[in-house]
Structure 1
Amino acid sequence: MVVVGDQLYRNALIAGGLGFITFGWDAGVLGGILLTPEFQSAMKFPGDTWTISMTTSIFLLASWLGCIIVSCFGLFAGRRTWIIMGEIIQIVGTIISASSYGWGQLLAGRLVIGIGNGFCTSMIPVFVAEMAVHVHKRGQGVNLMIGCASIGTALAYWVDFGMVFASGQAVWRFPVAFQIFWSLLTLAFIWPLPDTPRYYFAKGLPEEGDVVLERMFNQTTSEGPAETAKKDILASLELEKADTARLRIKDFFWDTSDLQAARRIRTGVILVGGAYLIGTNMIFYYMTTIFQVYIGLEPLTASGLAGAATTVLAITNIIGVIFMEKLGRRKWLIGGAIGQSIFLAAFTGLISTPGEATGAAAAAMLFCWIAVFGPTWGPVTYVYASEIMPLRYRHIGFALSISSQWVMAFVTVFAGPIAIADENVGWKTWIWFLVFNVLAGPFVYFCCPETRGRSLEEIDLIFMSESMHNTDAAKQLEHDIGSQNGSSVEEIQETHSVEKSAV
């Protein structure tokens, strides 16, 4: 039976959600086993801080490499194909990791997993966004992917916690190996799905694109919303063919092009990268270590709190999914930056004066930071970056945005523990993360126009030059914006002129 309509989108959400559970599992599973005697015995501890940091963070650097590969060759294969390749690669890397008896083999396994993860995290949000039929559900769908990542991280920490009561090498090998289960589930759900119509049209395959559009809308492309969607996609591609809309290196520094493709990519790169300079991976990779070593809690208590903290993240992510479209992207991000700055400042001040009372209060502040991060900077940066990219360059722009995430995450996960272990730096390391929390809000306010309520093609109107608004292709995109989201063409042009100062 061929799946059509809303069920097709729901299946895409399930496949993408499972793929991001895989990502969350990979990101969190090592954090709960680093201090177990069984893991340390297999890895022939003691290991120095550099080795431990590299083993944990090589996954991030490899994920960056996977994103770069996608940005260079993204259109050679479809969104769906890259996801399938990524999951298969992760299965291979997991087998290598779970059978490790030394740092070298574990490093190799984590590197392979990371490359596959880079493929998946670059393409799953794009795949989900492009399969969305209803504009008001697109942000919720991409947001749900991040919610699933946090569920994966929480599940990994709870499994790690449960394995504390086991014995033998299964204490750490089972949690690492269980990632294969999530990858196999992802493959099972994505295999029957088609690729996105926008990919087919961008590749010059209109017949295939028509077939998928007809399945998405459950009607032919010669009538109703399906016909409008096809015309919008073709109009967007037509605008991107103009010489003045091409991607040029100099525009990444000062974009004067008619569609501001480089500015849009640059904004996504800074936004997503910034979300990982605020301490995200440092907190979640070393959650148990932070509670146990730096706050001074007992090992079992630290492990349990780490599981609880990642559960808070998952719950607040899901709350964000429910209310995603109630507020604009800008309000979520600016409000999140303010809340995160307050709680991280309190956390930093408290751990600067170690003690039982201040340690408990610091843990509470960390929980509050996570609760604010969960529905804001955790998912909304992905949503925004997946929306603002022009169609022809979407694989490049989003992959580069996610690659910046992995670079910044690598820097923090690798260098953070080394800095904290240095007695001359110690708790002051958190000031670095606090600075970026504070800077995040102004960046969004001045550089990120609102995208809520517009189709992926209509977002071109926010960034295009005034001269291009007179073209037939632009007029096609303006067909029903006012009726869809209450914004007139004049209001969109006004938004563009206001934001032009950020070029």
Structure 2
Amino acid sequence: MVVQGERLYHQGLVAGGFAFVSFGWDAGVLGGVLLTPEFQESMGYPDTTTVSMITSVFLLASWLGCIIISLFGMKLGRRVWIIIGAVLQILGSIICVASYGYGQLIAGRVVIGVGNGFCTSMVPVYVAEMAVRKERRGQGVNLMIAMATVGVAIAYWVDFGMVFAHGTTAVWRFPVAFQIVWSLLCIATFWPMPDTARWHYATGNTEEGDRILQRMYNAALTDNAVETSKKDILASLELEKTATAKLRVKDFFYDTSDLQAARRIRTGVLLVAIAYLMGINVIFYYTTVIFQSYIGLKALTASGLSGALNTVLVVANMLGVIFMEKFKRRTWLLAGSAGQSVFMAVFVGLLSTPGPKTGAAAAAMLFCWVVFFGPTWGPVTYVYSSDIMPLRYRHIGFSLSVSAQWLMAFVTVFAGPIAIADTNVGWKTWIWFLVFNVIAFPYVYFCCPETRGRTLEEIDLIFMSDNIRGTAAAKQLEHQYSSDPSTENVDSLQEKGAVATETKAEEKEAA
């Protein structure tokens, strides 16, 4: 029986969810075992710099995986790249499990990281493009990030349980090996899935695009909804063929093109980069170390609190999934920045005056910060970045956005512990993270137009110049907004300042 309609989309969510559980598992699994005697002995008692490299090289390799996708992502399709990524994660995990030195462990994590870059670049794009109902698109992409936090939390609780298995390297080898299970489940669930209709249309395979679009809607091509969706996709592709819609280097600095593709990519890249300069990856990877070494809690207490903190992150993420479409994308991001800034500021202040009581209070502030980050800057940056990218360049734009995550995460995870361990810097390192929690607010307010309530193709209307607004393709995308008075049109968005158009330069040039 061929899976179609809502069941097809739900199967895609499950498959993508396994890929992101695998990502979260690797992000959290080492954090709970770094300080165990068994891991330290196996790795030859590595110093702080070596430990930082063991954990952070995965992030740099993930960045490399994203860059590969940005260059070749359109060649094989969304689904095939995801499966290749899962296979690489399995191979890398095997290398890691067999490690008897940090060199081999680093090599294995490089392989895992490249595969992770493939998956994190393509899974959200796949989920967004397979969503038939636009009000479900944000929830679906949000759910992927929630599943990553599920992976982190489960990994930390498994680490906590393995703490009691003294005297055997299974303390760290078993948690590392278990990532293979998630990758196998990812492959098994993605294998029978089709690629997205949008990818097939973009690569000229119209017949296959028609077939998959009918499966997505569980209706014939002559059905009004299916026919309209196809026309919108083809209209969007037609607009992207215009000469001024092509990517030009100068447009990444000041975009005067008709669809502002470069601006849209730049917006997504900077948004995700800011999110991962807020400190979340340092918290992900070194939760136990933060509680034990920097706040001064006992080993067992620190391990238990690590699991609890990451469980709180899961709950916060899931609440974000449930209420994603109740509020605008900008509302989530602005509220998150405001709340995170307050709690990070208090956290920094408490770390500056160490002691048992201030340490406990600092731990509480970290929990509060995670509650705000969980439903906002954690997932919504992915949702927004997958929203705004033009179809022909979606693999480039989104993979570069995710690459910014991995590059910024590498910087913080590698340099963060070294800076914190330096007595001349110490707690002041967290001021760096505080700064980015604060500057996130004005960035969203002035640079990120609202995208909720629009299909992926209708988002072109937000960035479209007047030069092409009167074309047949543009009018095709405007069909809903000419008939739905409840939907905010582009002109009203511009009047409110949500869309900072960059087309005035064209008028100056013409003059």
Distance 1:494 1:120 in 2: 39
Please give the secondary structure, in 2, of the residue aligned with 1:453.
coil
The residue matched to 2:228 in structure 1 has which SS? helix
* Contact 2:465 2:503 survives alignment (8 Å): no
Q: Quick one: structure 1 residues 491 and 145, their matched pair in 2 at CA, closer, same or farther if it must change by over 3 Å?
A: same
The residue identity in structure 1 corresponding to 2:127 is V
Q: Normalising by structure 1, report the TM-score.
A: 0.98
State the AA in 2 paired with 1:318: M
Superposition pairs of residues 366-445 of structure 1, within 5 angstroms: 366-445=366-445
Is 1:120 the counterpart of 2:119? The answer is yes
Shift of 1:485: 5.3
Partner of 1:110: 109
> What SS class does the counterpart of residue 144 from structure 1 fall into?
helix
Determine the structure 2 residue equivalent to 1:57.
56
Post-superposition CA distance 1:18-72 (Å, at most 9, x none)? 1100000010000000001111111111x11111101100000000000000000
CA distance in 2, matches of 1:179, 1:502: 48
Aligned match of 2:488: 487
Name the counterpart of 2:76. Answer: 77
Unpaired runs of 5+ residues, structure 1, are: none
The residue type paired with residue 176 of structure 1 is V
Q: In the alignment, what sits opposite 1:228?
A: 228
1:363 corresponds to:
363
The equivalent residue for 1:189 is 189
Q: Deviations over 1:256-293 (max 9, x none)?
A: 00100000000000001111001010111100000000
2:509 equivalent in structure 1:
none
Cα distance in 2 for partners of 1:502, 1:443 equals 20
1:327 pairs with 2:327: yes
**CA separation in 2, counterparts of 1:140 and 1:107?**
35
Question: Aligned with 1:209: secondary structure?
Answer: helix
Residue in 2 aligned with 1:246?
246
Alpha-carbon deviation of 1:494? 4.5
Identify the residue that residue 353 of structure 1 maps to in structure 2. Answer: 353
Cα deviation for residue 483 of structure 1 reads 2.4
Q: Supply the distance in 2 between the matched residues of 1:384 and 1:44 (Cα, whole angstroms).
A: 43
Contact 1:67 1:402 in 2 (8 A): yes
Paired with 1:20 and 1:225, the residues of 2 have a C-alpha distance of 31
Give the SS at the match of 2:345: helix
The residue aligned with 2:16 is: 16
CA distance in 1, matches of 2:256, 2:344: 38
| 2:274 match | 274
Cα distance, 1:166 vs structure 2 = 1.2
| Aligned 8 A contact 1:447 1:499 in 2 | yes
Contact kept in structure 2, 1:454 and 1:484, CA below 8 Å: no
* Structure 2 unaligned regions, length at least 5: 505-511
SS at match of 2:469: helix
Aligned to 2:311: 311
Cα distance change, pair 200–293 in 1 and its aligned pair in 2 (3 A): same
The 1:484–1:7 alpha-carbon spacing in structure 2 relative to 1, beyond 3 Å, is farther
Deviation track 1:307-363 (CA, whole Å, cap 9, x = no partner) reads 000000000000000000000000000000000000000000001111000000000
**Alignment: residue pair count:** 502
> Residue in 2 aligned with 1:3?
3
Code of the residue aligned with 1:42 in structure 2: it is S
Q: CA deviation at 1:421?
A: 0.8
Percent of aligned positions that are identical: 68
d(CA) in 1 for partners of 2:499, 2:95:
52
Partners of 1:502 and 1:277 in 2: how far apart?
A: 31
Find the aligned partners of 1:326 and 1:95 in 2 and give their Cα distance.
Answer: 43
| Structure 1 partner of 2:501 | 500
Aligned-residue RMSD, C-alpha? 1.3
> Secondary structure of 2:171's match?
helix
CA distance in 2: counterparts of 1:137 and 1:431, whole angstroms = 37
